[in-house]
Structure 1
């Protein structure tokens, strides 16, 4: 994840520049596969992290998800 700075954001113009890269700290383990979202929540900042399950159970969950998606046309 990278921060995106917007020094100018008006209806007529936007300026952006890439900021620092944010990596999951070791304390996030096992959720270190990727950070997705920063969201303000009052005095807190929420960070969505992800974990990839590469076990047999994880593969079955992925397969079931694909089958449901195919059945619904998603």
Structure 2
């Protein structure tokens, strides 16, 4: 990847579970002449939902509003 060429980020959901979401991300930088982009970096992370109001921080279900927002991103 090189400056000052633009960088694009892609985000997808690998898994939408009961209490967690696994996200995949990629960084892309296309050819300076407009050719297709090639992934320069890839990664993933897991977001586990917990009840932050309880001192024991029990695992909770993914909120419905989040589930509806990320469901279209599942690959």
Q: Decide: shared fold, TM above 0.5.
A: no
Which structure would you say has the larger RCO, counting Cα contacts within 8 Å and 6 or more residues apart? 2
Output the TM-score relative to the length of structure 1. 0.31
TM-score (normalizing by structure 2): 0.30
